[in-house]
Chain A
Amino acid sequence: MKIGAIAGITFKEAKRDRILYLLFFFAALGIGGARVLAILTVGDRVKIIKDVGLASISLFGVLMAILIGTGLVYKEIDKKTIFTLLSKPLHRAEFILGKFLGLVLTLFVMTLFMSLIFLAIVFAHTLKIEGTLLVAVGYIFLELVLVTAVAILFSSFSTPILSSLFALAFYLIGHLSWGLELILKKMAPGAGKTLVRFLYTVLPDLENFNFRTEVVHGLPIPPGIYLSSFLYGVCYTAFILGLAVLVFRRRDFI
């Protein structure tokens, strides 16, 4: 109930943020623009529409998560509304979870709208609804959930600008860390390999949520991958939220 109340107020606040609509506008432009790009490019038009459309949902979804998420907790502290909230019988963990769920709900609604535009454009070309596209969108959303948790973690102890930079760095590292896996396969056993293995374990691997290539090109996806990617997303998000709660619990609100 209390978490729901915080989530509700966060959703209300997030949907008042103009940046959300600006990013949604550009996302719609990207998804719609894929059609124009498909006409100008040599190759399978539908594949280009799917590829650019999914990439737009992912990119603008991440920007929404970072730009809104990094200000959420900070604004409460800066505007001092936190004094009224934490003087109620509310655990600090409930506050963080409520903020997180409120933004996740906002992103869910925005992803839903972006997906509807995307599916409508694909439908106009193929005259069928492809379930695998929804799977790809689902995993993009799971990635957004994780990025939201990261944004809230940084927001609980830093300013929005720094938090945005940290969260963006997390996102970029997350999409490049798969290279470490390749290095691991080619390295000889030893201290170097142990270090690279440690780095690969600690750093996020957001490519776990990327099914775009498989979906666009109709490649087979082993069923076990869905489950392992889902569990990876859930566990990593829970870990980051746990960290955010730990940091937030130790804070003084002067």
Chain B
Amino acid sequence: MADAIRIDNLQKKFRLGFIPKTRQILKGITFSVREGEIFGYLGPNGAGKTTTIKCLLGLIRPDAGTIEIFGRSHFSPRSRQTLGFLPENPYFYDYLTATEFLAFTADLFGLGRVEKEERIARLLKLVGLERAAGLPLRKFSRGMLQRAGLAQALINDPKLVILDEPLGGMDPIGRKEIRDIIVRFKDEGKTVFFTSHILQDIEMICDRVAIIVGGRIVKEGALRDLVSERILFTEVTVSGLSPDAFRDLGESISAQGDRVLLKVYDESKVDAVLDLVHGQKGRLVSLSPRTETLEDIFVETVTRT
């Protein structure tokens, strides 16, 4: 499969402050995003995620390295013809209505009148802003602005969608809706490159991820390769027994009323816990094995680096 994005040895430093101090933000980033996949770009605050995206879009000139979008240099405006971008905390002309704003962005792609009107109507429906189409953007809530931002990113029916924190500021229902839209992009053959702090969302929808820490990619790969099926521990909730009864079998996390929550690290001891519960006439309330998550990998990687 061809690469939608190919970044090779990307470097960028800034001179910031009143007495300029040089700070290397990107220290040789290399990765690629394959056509048709959903790619998650993770990292703690200040790791260089947004700087990478700004380099990708030509908003920042890299000091070294190359970036290609569908085989074209990212500096060429033609490479942005098939690209849609939603910035973090989107800022738009707040005196325009959602419809006027989308019409303006459609003009930047040179869309014809009929196509423009058809796309605006379709996108407003897709992001759930049909009723707010005539409202000025300054009256929009943060979540509504995010939806308007997503609509403008899709106005050109892009092959590649770049989303910087698309789920920030959304309520749980809004988050689910945006997640569903992102998954639909994949079904339509679009490539999605997005950053998020909400790791559960990334885990739910991404095919591959890259973790950037301190301006370097420290982990990259398919989610199924990174997250193992290994059981880390088993959470067992029992009632009718004292926490002391399980002292040698697992760690007692909490005890509320007659309920005890245990963390059993050794898989072979889970059966012993169950035998003890049955033998002492207790009751098993729940039992859930906890496998490794993206959050575990992220925390471990960031802490280690």
A interface list, Cβ under 8 A from B:
1-2, 4-5, 8-9, 12-13, 16, 79-91, 250, 252-254
Contacts and interface: CB of A to CB of B under 8 A. Distances in A.
A196 B242 CA distance: 99
18 contacts: A5-B107, A5-B108, A12-B93, A12-B96, A13-B93, A13-B95, A16-B95, A83-B54, A83-B59, A83-B87, A84-B87, A84-B91, A87-B57, A87-B85, A89-B77, A89-B108, A250-B61, A252-B61
Given A84-B87, A85-B108, A87-B85, A252 B92 contact: no
Interface of B: 14, 54, 57-61, 77-78, 80-81, 83, 85, 87, 89-93, 95-96, 104-105, 107-110, 149, 152, 162
Contact of A86 (B58, B81, B162): B58
**5 pairs of A and B residues whose beta carbons are closest in the complex:** A5-B107, A87-B85, A89-B77, A80-B91, A88-B108
A79 B104 CA distance: 17
A84 B60 CA distance: 14
Given A8-B104, A85-B108, A253-B60, 13 more contacts: A83-B87, A84-B85, A84-B87, A84-B90, A84-B92, A84-B105, A86-B57, A87-B59, A87-B80, A87-B87, A90-B77, A252-B59, A252-B61
A88 B91 contact: no
A5 B61 CA distance: 26
A81 B107 contact: no
Contacts of A12: 93, 95-96
A88 B60 contact: no
B92 A2 contact: no
B79 to A, nearest CB: 8
A2 to B, nearest CB: 5
Contact of B107 (A2, A16, A80): A2
Contacts of B90: 84
A176 to B, nearest CB: 35
A79 B91 contact: yes
Contacts of A91: 77
B187 to A, nearest CB: 24
B95 A90 contact: no
Nearest to A9: B104
A2 B104 CA distance: 9
A90 B60 contact: no
Contacts of A79: 91
